[in-house]
Amino acid sequence: MARRPTIRSVAEEAGVSPTTVSLVLNNNASAIPEATKERVVQAVRKLGYRPNPSARALSSSQTHTIGFITDVIASSGYAGRSIAGAQELSWANDKVLLIVNTGGDAAITRAAVDMLCDRQVDGVIYAAMSMCGVDLPEALLQIPTILVNAYDRQSRFPAILADEELGGYTATRTLIDAGHRRIGMLYGVPEVDAGRERLIGHRRALDEAGIAFDPALVRADCWFPEGGYRSTKALMTLDEPPTALFCVNDWVAMGCYEAVKELGLSIPGDLAIIGYDNHELAGLLRPGLTTMQLPHYDLGRKAVECLLAPAGSVAPNAVIRLPCPLIRRQSV
Amino acid sequence: MARRPTIRSVAEEAGVSPTTVSLVLNNNASAIPEATKERVVQAVRKLGYRPNPSARALSSSQTHTIGFITDVIASSGYAGRSIAGAQELSWANDKVLLIVNTGGDAAITRAAVDMLCDRQVDGVIYAAMSMCGVDLPEALLQIPTILVNAYDRQSRFPAILADEELGGYTATRTLIDAGHRRIGMLYGVPEVDAGRERLIGHRRALDEAGIAFDPALVRADCWFPEGGYRSTKALMTLDEPPTALFCVNDWVAMGCYEAVKELGLSIPGDLAIIGYDNHELAGLLRPGLTTMQLPHYDLGRKAVECLLAPAGSVAPNAVIRLPCPLIRRQSV
DNA sequence: GTGAAAGCGCTAACAA
DNA sequence: TTGTTAGCGCTTTCAC
């Protein structure tokens, strides 16, 4: 099998030294005349030369590689989108992603971090599948690190998060702008940070519009369709039922749909509904579900952007929040 | 910042040469007495020595890295599961996954393959998100390559696929075993290979049970809930309606559920339903949807297994089919 | 402007 | 059984 050309063969072909070739290829060739450069470039092309990354890594300690650690690859497909976002921006910058999935296991996480240190990655992205606080191994302090959809309990690393509060605000605001004044919220379980923040945003929108918050219109314990179904039935039999509902996620919204249908009401005529997550089925419901989209792709992309930024330009305790776009369909 | 220990420092600490250390660390130490080995191991531990992968790669041309190329990271989350499967088995074998997403672009695919060659990966996995034939760059012939959820149009690489035919058979067989004789199928669009194969399996199960195939009970053009809804309504108003339905996917099954509910019928009493895909919502439906699970995780795992197997043990034109497990819930 | 030479940390052929 | 030596292919310092 034909050996690949080396920098030496290129140098010979161009009639220069390996140093010159290296200089030209790495854009450190400010002092080299165009003519020489051109000869080198021609030789490279002619031989089809491609530098050997291992050799480059050994002598420069730069691998052009970014480690991407995930805790749990949820079946939801969200992980995939963050990975895609990170991968695409990496690719555009000639970097490549090294992936490890820890299953949430602390020992594996430690081992993964060690492995990434060994491999001299340029940076590490730690992505959690459901937003939460995490404790990460000390060793990560040696490498530029950034968290996605998670925050470090000790604030040692910057975090990129979806702006859930703003999302909750926007969702409710959308309902208000559509003319609603009696707006309920099917709120998730308190353990989930995201749900809590969405509720805060919901209340802010209400306040801002001068609508008194009515605890009777908020139902907790909704996370799956079943909960949405039950809560909707309960709310719609109130003396003064809501005319619009903000659901903590699309699953809950699906439960609403079912309840509304059974009650013989119509969406959005009798009840406007807005969800959260832009689940793959949201667009297939009848009517299409208006919802807030989690910016997983953007989170991954932003993480790489931060890693690529000049050292020090992102404070270690920075928290960057990315907006959740509103996906307008027909349910509001 | 303290430098990492090198093999030399370990050798000095242990009072041996770097060669000896290398031999011990790479299990080529058959000729080295226990006592010496022990000294080396102690020194390694004492110094916290970890070999430098770049250096190792440079001199051995082995990177312990597997390239994983995906075409489109679908929102369905399936990509994530194949990646997880591949990653976990890789990890268990001290290998690591390098990920590239091509978005289905041929130029990017070529560039990705070149990059993986440059980086001297031990092997390449090409995973497509919906099962299909693909044309891959020539350059891949130089590296052990295996396809997941896709097959090479020129049969140059082995492929790992879900056994859709067997899945279709098992689904229908499940219905037959539950006592049904009039079994319909809501069959997908003909362009999708998977749907066609599921239909073939369906007919085989019918044949085997001596049930005549009745074309009136098969409806094409179902892929989303809407289609399932319409087709179910149509089938259930037949003179002799089916007592069971095999849906080409869970989305279609969801449409069935809605139609059945509207018709005032019950599942599985009046109509048994079995789906395909084990969508994340399948378990949240009432009643829980019995369905066939796509073995994405296993496909990824199997791919790594093949790559790790001794060279030549997997024929280049091999097609390995993995079964889709039946997920029993309450709809049959 | 350009090149020689010394590594980067490890492996492996060969010698002892 | 162990050590010496010569690379692996590239970067980078320093001298010409």
pLDDT, one tens digit per residue, over B171-192 is 999 999 999 999 999 998 887 8
In the three-class reduction of DSSP (H, G, I as helix; E, B as strand; rest coil), residue A110 is classed as helix
Residuewise pLDDT in 10s, chain B (332 residues): 467 888 888 888 888 888 888 888 877 667 777 888 888 888 888 889 999 999 999 988 889 999 999 988 754 567 788 999 999 999 999 999 999 999 889 999 999 999 999 999 999 999 998 777 889 999 999 999 999 999 999 999 999 999 999 999 999 999 999 999 999 999 988 878 889 999 999 999 999 999 999 999 999 988 999 999 999 999 999 999 999 999 999 999 999 999 999 999 999 999 999 999 999 899 999 999 999 999 999 999 999 999 999 888 999 999 999 999 999 999 99
Give me the sign of the Cα torsion angle A15, A19, A21, A24.
negative
Chain A hits for B128, Cβ within 8 Å: none
Contact A114 B81 (CB under 8 A): no
- Contact criterion met (CB < 8 Å) for A80 and B83: yes
| Distance of A61 CA from D10 C1′ (whole Å) | 11
Q: Which positions in chain B touch A107 (Cβ < 8 Å)? A: none
Of A77, A88, A98, the CB nearest to B101: A88
Rg (CA), chain A: 26
From the C1' of C2, which residue's alpha carbon is nearest? A20
Tokens of B263: 């018709």
**Residue B87 contacts A, CB cutoff 8 Å:** yes
Protein residue closest via CA to C1' of D2:
B20
Which residues in chain B have their CB less than 8 angstroms from residue A84's CB? 73, 101
C-alpha span between A222 and A228 (Å, rounded): 6
Which residues of chain B make contact with A114, given a CB cutoff of 8 A?
50
Task: Tell me which chain B residues have a C-beta less than 8 angstroms from the C-beta of A65.
Answer: 98
Query: CB distance from A78 to chain B under 8 Å?
Result: yes
Question: What distance in Å separates the CA atoms of residue B178 and residue B189, rounded to the nearest whole number?
Answer: 28
Per the CB < 8 A criterion, the answer to whether B201 and B166 are in contact is yes
Under DSSP, is residue A310 helix (H, G, I), strand (E, B) or coil? coil
Q: Which residue is nearest to nucleotide D5 (CA to C1')?
A: B19
The CA distance from B246 to the nearest CA of chain A, in Å, is 20
Nearest CA in chain A to B51: A118
Cβ–Cβ below 8 Å for A98 and B100: no
Taken as a whole, chain A contains a residue count of 332
Backbone angles phi, psi at A95, to 5 degrees: -120, 165
CB A127 within 8 A of CB A68: yes
| Joined tokens for residue A302 | 């932003």
Tokens 């968290």, residue?
A147
CA distance A110 to A140: 9
Q: Is A31 within 7 A of strand C by CB distance?
A: yes
Chain C bases near protein CB atoms (7 A cut-off): 1-5, 7-13
Whether residues B286 and A73 touch (CB distance < 8 A) is answered with: no
C-alpha separations of A88 from A19, A23, A76, A301 in Å:
32, 28, 20, 7
Shortest Cα distance from B73 to chain A (angstroms)? 6
